[in-house]
């Protein structure tokens, strides 16, 4: 009897693998980085206004904070900052929403969603990376006008430098 | 006790039936409109990689089909006729413009993809328009949202659900949207083309969807399997209620 009941529960648990309900991730705020504390100048208006309502840490490469040509699209739970380079664009985005949760019994899905080391990926002619920081999710995406010739979209070094240069420039706690 | 045994027998039987169903082609016919499609995860040809066979979960429910009008054809660009690893011939070969649809999410690629069985693969699906003509068919918004990014050959839409939908290879000169613009489900984004900067590609829409999944107390933003959601969306398009 007990075996049959266990079997039934296991079958139900494996049958459906995800919860469809989404929600908001908790932001794990950390102390300001040393780089952030050193910045004395006021941020440009485009940046101040663009991220005013965002409720997650906003990361931007330190070397581009005063780039007035950036474009920002945001809402309280998300931001997308585009930086423009000659022959390329860089998208930096952060997001604290989630759309689905894996159920405890869905072992196959859980294995696939295992935390792995951050990678720089060359896909569809672009160089990209995704990472989790402060409990929320961020992406960098580099797109080039000449994807098969431009090293910024073929090799990871350019994006790696952008990643290493990221600092928190805002976000409402 | 007998009742429980009956339930177990029923569940086992229904799971076997389900497996059989996933192995064959499915179809939908509505007057002159038709759809034939192979199951999610069954990549074609077999050598093109290993998909998520048996995963029929609709990850992005109720999205609109990303091409404005039917017919459209989901199949491989790389392994199709005229593709890099496909049969020799023209990219416009009629065999690329016919049913059945074939899932190409997780098709062999060199880049990492957590949800692909091999850990690597294609991030989305490739969709051909009704005919092999560029700048003729519109890609449209799959849900209400905001255009968050426009690059040389890609456009990103963040839907109100928090999912990010990426449209690749649209003609950049005739885009109907601007960065930051709020758009409605079904609204035109741009014309499907072969734009990939200076790199050659076939006339198609690469469509992929990113969302955050929480597992093991940790969250990751990943490209989700989108084929089943598109089959569902296309059926609604054919029925006239996209």
Map out the domains of chain B with their CATH numbers. Answer: 25-238 (2.70.70.10)
CB contact under 8 A, A8 and B112: no
pLDDT score of B14 = 45
Residues B143, B146, B148, B151: what is their CA dihedral angle, to the nearest 10 degrees? Answer: 70
User: Residue B51 pLDDT more than 80?
Assistant: yes
Distances from the Cα of A64 to the Cαs of A143, A145, B74, in angstroms? 17, 21, 40
CB contact under 8 A, B219 and A137: yes
Of the partner residues B8, B115, B180, the one whose CB lies closest to the CB of residue A4: B8
Contacts of A102 in chain B (CB under 8 A): 213-216
Query: Which pLDDT band holds residue B8 (cuts at 50, 70, 90)?
Result: low
pLDDT score of A6 = 42
How far apart CA B111 and CA B34 sit, in angstroms, is: 35
B10-15: long-range contacts (C-beta < 8 A, 24 or more apart)?
B11/A8, B11/A11, B15/A11
For residue A75, the cross-strand partners are A78
**CB-based contacts of A3: which residues, under 8 Å, 6+ apart?**
none
User: Residue A42 pLDDT more than 70?
Assistant: yes
* Average confidence score pLDDT of chain A: 86
Of the partner residues B152, B156, B213, the one whose CB lies closest to the CB of residue A98: B213
**Host H or E run for residue B6:** helix B2-23
How far apart CA B224 and CA B209 sit, in angstroms, is: 6
What is the mean predicted confidence (pLDDT) over B30-39? 91
For residue B168, the cross-strand partners are B154, B206
User: Residue B145 pLDDT more than 90?
Assistant: yes
What is chain B's alpha carbon radius of gyration, rounded to the nearest angstrom?
Answer: 19
Q: Can you read off the two tokens belonging to residue B66? A: 């990303």
How far apart CA A128 and CA A91 sit, in angstroms, is: 9
User: Residue A32 pLDDT more than 80?
Assistant: no
* Average confidence score pLDDT of chain B: 91
User: Residue A33 pLDDT more than 90?
Assistant: no
Contacts of A8 in chain B (CB under 8 A): 4, 7-8, 11
Nearest to A81 by CA among A99, A61, A53, A55: A61
What is the mean predicted confidence (pLDDT) over B144-165? 98
User: What sign results for the dihedral spanned by CA atoms B172, B162, A99, A95?
Assistant: positive
pLDDT exceeding 70 applies to what percent of chain B? 90
How far apart CA B91 and CA B226 sit, in angstroms, is: 24
Nearest to A156 by CA among A128, A117, A123: A128
Residues B139 and B189 sit within 8 Å (Cβ to Cβ): yes
B9–chain A Cβ distance below 8 A for any pair: no
For residue A143, the cross-strand partners are A89
Contacts of A127 in chain B (CB under 8 A): none
pLDDT score of A11 = 41
Q: Can you read off the two tokens belonging to residue A102? A: 């894996």
Q: Can you read off the two tokens belonging to residue B53? A: 């066979």
User: Residue A13 pLDDT more than 50?
Assistant: no
3-state secondary structure of A142: strand
pLDDT score of A34 = 54
Q: How many residues are present in chain B?
A: 242
**Host H or E run for residue B35:** strand B33-37
What is the mean predicted confidence (pLDDT) over B149-163? 98
A residues 27-66 closer than 8 Å to B (CB) = none
> Phi/psi of residue A72, each to 5°?
-125, 130
> Phi/psi of residue A92, each to 5°?
-120, 120
Question: What angle, 0 to 180 degrees and rounded to 10, lies between the N-to-C axes of helices B2-23 and A2-15?
Answer: 30
DSSP state of A42: P
Query: Which pLDDT band holds residue A110 (cuts at 50, 70, 90)?
Result: confident
Contacts of A93 in chain B (CB under 8 A): 148-149, 164
At B62-82, the pLDDT tens digits run 999 999 999 999 999 999 999
Query: Which pLDDT band holds residue A169 (cuts at 50, 70, 90)?
Result: very high
User: Residue B183 pLDDT more than 60?
Assistant: yes
Residues B186 and B211 sit within 8 Å (Cβ to Cβ): no
User: Residue A3 pLDDT more than 90?
Assistant: no
How far apart CA B176 and CA B68 sit, in angstroms, is: 13
């Amino acid at each position: 009897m007990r075996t049959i009941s266990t079997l039934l529960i296991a079958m139900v648990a494996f049958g459906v693998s995800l919860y469809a309900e989404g929600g908001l991730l908790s932001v794990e705020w950390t102390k300001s980085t040393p780089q952030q504390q050193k910045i004395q100048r006021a941020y440009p208006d485009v940046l101040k206004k663009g991220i005013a309502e965002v409720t997650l840490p906003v990361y931007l490469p330190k070397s581009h904070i005063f780039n007035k040509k950036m474009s920002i699209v945001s809402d309280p739970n998300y931001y997308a900052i585009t930086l423009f380079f000659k022959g390329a664009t860089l998208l930096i985005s952060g997001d604290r929403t989630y759309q689905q949760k894996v159920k405890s019994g869905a072992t196959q899905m859980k294995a696939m969603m295992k935390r792995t080391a951050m990678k720089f990926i060359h896909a569809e002619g672009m160089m990209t990376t995704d990472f989790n920081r402060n409990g929320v999710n961020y992406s960098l995406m580099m797109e080039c006008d000449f994807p098969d010739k431009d090293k910024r979209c073929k090799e990871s070094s350019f994006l790696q430098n952008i990643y290493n240069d990221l600092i928190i420039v805002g976000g409402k706690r | 006790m007998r009742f429980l045994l009956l339930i177990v027998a029923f569940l086992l039987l229904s799971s076997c039936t389900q497996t059989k169903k996933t192995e064959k082609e499915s179809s939908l016919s509505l007057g002159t409109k038709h759809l034939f499609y192979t199951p999610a995860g069954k990549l074609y040809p077999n050598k093109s990689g290993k998909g998520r066979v048996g995963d029929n979960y609709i990850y992005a429910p109720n999205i609109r089909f990303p091409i404005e009008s039917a017919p459209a054809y989901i199949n491989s660009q790389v392994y199709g006729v005229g593709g890099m690893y496909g049969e020799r011939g023209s990219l416009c070969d009629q065999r690329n413009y016919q049913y059945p649809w074939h899932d190409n999410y997780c098709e062999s690629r060199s880049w990492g993809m957590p949800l692909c069985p091999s850990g690597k693969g294609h991030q989305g699906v490739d969709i051909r328009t009704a005919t092999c003509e560029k700048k003729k068919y519109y890609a449209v918004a799959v849900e209400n949202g905001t255009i968050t990014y426009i690059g040389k050959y890609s456009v990103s839409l963040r839907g109100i659900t928090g999912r990010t939908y990426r449209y690749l290879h649209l003609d950049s000169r005739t885009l109907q949207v601007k960065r930051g613009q709020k758009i409605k489900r079904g609204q035109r984004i741009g014309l499907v083309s072969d734009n990939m900067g200076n790199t050659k590609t076939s006339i198609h829409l690469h469509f992929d969807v990113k969302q955050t999944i929480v597992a093991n107390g940790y969250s990751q933003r990943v490209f989700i399997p989108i084929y089943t959601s598109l089959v569902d969306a296309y059926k609604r398009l054919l029925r006239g209620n996209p």
